Structure 1
Amino acid sequence: MKVLLFFFLLLLNACQSFGQQGSGLSGKQVVFPQTSNKAHVVLKASPKQPLTAFTVCLKHYTDLTRAYSLFSYATRKSHNDIIIYKYKPNQYTFYVGGEAVTFLTPEKQSLERETLCASWDSATGLARLWVNGKRLPPRSLKKGYSISADSSIVLGQDQDTQGGRFHGFQADSSIVLGQDQDTQGGGFQVDASIGLGQDEDTLGGGFDGFQSDLSIVLGQDQDTQGGGFQVDASIGLGQDEDTLGGGFDGFQSDSSIVLGQDQDTQAGGFDINDSYVGELLDVRMWERVLSQEEMKRALLDDNIPGNAMIDWETVNYEAKGGVIIERAWSP
């Protein structure tokens, strides 16, 4: 009985670590209350095809004077495919395809919520930035480039590798439900692993049959004690399956957007020195450059005709690492 209680407590802890999930953030904001290499929000969205143009808009409120990342879009090809980064109170860096241009504004004296919009067009190579409704002179950036649709978008963290290997984000244990672990935690970098329903001959793997008096297997039927699974499908909690019941490869989705961190790798590699502290809200993204009239409406929070890749009112999200979701405050 003690063994069962132990396993269920571990399962409860693992479920809590997956973060708060939901759909739609209308009238809400995400709060990053402290410097962290764990706090981030994943916005789950999928571009219909490789991006050759886009517009991103967001609002944020912070008193940070050091550099921090606001928006990070990483792919298998490049972890700097799109980054909106603020180095200083009056200096913004806009990355596309690993290359960057810098925009400067007059030094601000007052502390206020800031509205940012950025656009890029591959056909012309023009990159533009709007700060609180003011359009800055355009820059030339990566003309002819195409951004992969196999992406990870991170707010508030930087990814070191695609889908994992976060700086300071390496768990002490891994729990895989419904399948054996061929490597520790399915390829994660951890110090220990827990296999439910299987005995580990080596740390996080090397299962060979069943070597205990008790087996607990979630998501599979046991034809023999602790084994003999015959199924048409398998369930992996907290991981994506590249093959039936296995092939875990870090963090995989058609597209994920992370708030509050810059990505050194797709959906991971967060560096505490790039982390955001403050409030973020009203993040929207379109797979085209908005017209002048559409941009005016976007800056006024009006709806833009046509489907947005990211719509704050309907987006699926997951908040992790102590991020708080609350009702949006007035500016």
Structure 2
Amino acid sequence: MHLSGKQFSFTDDPKGVNVPHVTLHINTDSIPKMTVCLRFFSQLQRTQGLFSLATRDHQNAVMLMKYDKGTYKVHVGSHTYDFQDLPTHLLDWNSVCWTWDSGTGLTQLWLNGLRTSQKLLGLNYSVSGDMSVIVGQEQDEFQGGYKQDDSFEGDITDLHMWSHIVSACDLRTYMNQGSIDPGNLLNWNNLSYKISGNVYIQDSDFKEPVC
């Protein structure tokens, strides 16, 4: 479905019965390198799952978590790294991109136009086989194991995933709301998805509306 100009809006379930999340269809069985970008708005400062890709071999094959005080944890299999003290907005949108290359082990995070230094993570790790992609939650098992305490609450838009490392120039363009080639693994403008729990599709207010 074409979601240009739209956003997923996640709200908490007071009864804790239906943990909100969105399942995305990804058409690949191998990811040797990748770039993931998305924009989110949330005023919660607790742990929140932004992007979770599980395989049958590992529930955290590729995962991006947001913690409080500007800390973001990235997972590649059993390998993890915490990027700390990153400038995160509580009253505005945040644009985040994450790159990772199995061949070199280099990984990097971009947030709101600024980048971190590159770190080593998951050198030669293989992400392959059946894949389950979830937005707004962490998978503690393949296609499941969701926890209310990890659920995202807020809005997500403009999610893309590429099977290569997007150039710094293009990442800066994405951060500045410019036009770049959409993701070839996940494309916000042509997305196959399934909504579970309290998630709603609304017009996005990321860009200033014309009233």
| Same-fold status (TM-score > 0.5) | yes
Stretches of 4+ moved more than 4 A in 1?
A: 106-110
Asked whether the equivalents of residues 11 and 20 of structure 2 are also in contact (C-alpha less than 8 Å), the reply is: no
Q: Which has the larger radius of gyration?
A: 1
Distance 1:92 1:66 in 2: 11
Alignment of 1:149-164 (within 5 A): 149-155=129-135
Displacement after TM superposition at 1:24 (Å): 1.9
Asked whether the equivalents of residues 45 and 315 of structure 1 are also in contact (C-alpha less than 8 Å), the reply is: no
Displacement after TM superposition at 1:106 (Å): 5.0
Q: Which runs of 5+ in 2 are unaligned?
A: none
Q: Which residue of 1 aligns with 2:106?
A: 126
Q: Which residue of 1 aligns with 2:81?
A: 101
Distance 2:172 2:88 in 1: 23
Q: Structure 1 pair 261/43, CA: closer, same or farther in 2 (3 Å)?
A: same
Deviations 1:259-314 (A, max 9, x none): x1111112211111100111111110001111222222332344434761111011
Deviations 1:145-171 (A, max 9, x none): 11014100101xxxxxxxxxxxxxxxx
Q: Structure 1 pair 33/139, CA: closer, same or farther in 2 (3 Å)?
A: same
| Structure number with higher relative contact order (C-alpha < 8 Å, ≥ 6 residues apart) | 2
Q: Among residues 76, 87, 95, which one is paired with 2:56 in the alignment?
A: 76
Q: Structure 1 pair 119/278, CA: closer, same or farther in 2 (3 Å)?
A: same
Displacement after TM superposition at 1:107 (Å): 6.1
Asked whether the equivalents of residues 37 and 98 of structure 2 are also in contact (C-alpha less than 8 Å), the reply is: yes
Distance 1:90 1:306 in 2: 27
Distance 1:58 1:32 in 2: 15
- Counterpart amino acid of residue 314 in structure 1: N
Asked whether the equivalents of residues 64 and 75 of structure 2 are also in contact (C-alpha less than 8 Å), the reply is: yes
- Counterpart amino acid of residue 278 in structure 1: G
Distance 1:57 1:306 in 2: 10
SS of alignment partner, residue 281 of structure 1: strand
Alignment of 1:235-250 (within 5 A): none
Q: Which residue of 2 aligns with 1:45?
A: 26
Q: Structure 1 pair 317/107, CA: closer, same or farther in 2 (3 Å)?
A: closer
Count residues with an aligned counterpart.
204
Asked whether the equivalents of residues 46 and 149 of structure 1 are also in contact (C-alpha less than 8 Å), the reply is: no
Distance 2:176 2:84 in 1: 23
Q: Structure 1 pair 299/149, CA: closer, same or farther in 2 (3 Å)?
A: farther
Displacement after TM superposition at 1:44 (Å): 1.3
Does 1:29 find its partner at 2:10? Answer: no
Distance 1:93 1:72 in 2: 12
Asked whether the equivalents of residues 40 and 93 of structure 2 are also in contact (C-alpha less than 8 Å), the reply is: yes
Q: Structure 1 pair 109/304, CA: closer, same or farther in 2 (3 Å)?
A: closer
Q: Which runs of 5+ in 1 are unaligned?
A: 1-22, 156-259
Relative to total residues, which structure has the larger strand share, 1 or 2? 2
- Counterpart amino acid of residue 172 in structure 2: K
Identity fraction in percent: 33
Asked whether the equivalents of residues 54 and 60 of structure 2 are also in contact (C-alpha less than 8 Å), the reply is: yes
Displacement after TM superposition at 1:109 (Å): 7.2
- Counterpart amino acid of residue 180 in structure 2: I
Q: Which residue of 2 aligns with 1:318?
A: 194
Displacement after TM superposition at 1:80 (Å): 0.3
Does 1:281 find its partner at 2:142? Answer: no
Q: Which residue of 2 aligns with 1:308?
A: 184
- Give the alignment's Cα RMSD to 1 decimal: 1.9
Distance 2:139 2:90 in 1: 30
Distance 1:309 1:109 in 2: 28
Q: Among residues 148, 163, 170, which one is paired with 1:272 in the alignment?
A: 148
- Counterpart amino acid of residue 87 in structure 1: Y
Q: Structure 1 pair 305/24, CA: closer, same or farther in 2 (3 Å)?
A: closer
SS of alignment partner, residue 88 of structure 1: coil
Q: Which residue of 2 aligns with 1:263?
A: 139
Q: Structure 1 pair 29/126, CA: closer, same or farther in 2 (3 Å)?
A: same
Q: Among residues 38, 42, 45, which one is paired with 1:65 in the alignment?
A: 45
SS of alignment partner, residue 90 of structure 1: coil
SS of alignment partner, residue 296 of structure 1: helix
Asked whether the equivalents of residues 96 and 109 of structure 2 are also in contact (C-alpha less than 8 Å), the reply is: yes
TM-score by length of structure 1 reads 0.58
- Counterpart amino acid of residue 154 in structure 2: G
